[in-house]
Structures are given as C-alpha cells and as structure tokens.
C-alpha cells in the first residue's frame, strides 16, 4: 500500500509540476525562484 501511495505521489508531482510552473510563469514572469524548487510538493507549499 505504501509503495502504491509513493508511486501515486510521484506521478502527481511528475504531471502537476509542469502545470504549476506553467501557471506561475504566466502569473509571475520572474522564474528564477521556481526553477530551484526540487519537487512539486514543495512548489505547492510555496504558493
């Protein structure tokens, strides 16, 4: 069960991170801070 949850979270990060970066690039053109964020979950927490 834990492995499934980890895979699910990984896929969410993999698919959602580009969407968040795209949205942030639209609303906040300076992207230098976003590109240094390592994962989608931390990116979500910084919004």
List the domain boundaries for the chain. 2-46
What is the per-residue pLDDT for 17?
78
Q: How many CB atoms lie within 10 A of CB 31?
A: 11
Taking only the tens of pLDDT, the chain with its 47 residues reads 677 777 777 777 777 777 777 777 776 655 455 555 555 555 555 54
Query: Global pTM?
Result: 0.30
Burial class (CB in 10 A: 0-12, 13-18, 19+), 22: exposed
Q: How far is residue 46's CA from residue 6's CA, in Å, rounded to a whole number?
A: 21
What is the per-residue pLDDT for 4?
76
What is the per-residue pLDDT for 41?
54
Q: How far is residue 4's CA from residue 45's CA, in Å, rounded to a whole number?
A: 23
Q: How far is residue 4's CA from residue 25's CA, in Å, rounded to a whole number?
A: 31
């Amino acid at each position: 069960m834990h492995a499934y949850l980890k895979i699910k979270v990984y896929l969410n990060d993999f698919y959602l991170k580009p969407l968040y970066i795209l949205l942030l690039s639209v609303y906040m053109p300076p992207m230098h801070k976003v590109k240094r964020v390592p994962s989608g979950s931390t990116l979500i927490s910084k919004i």
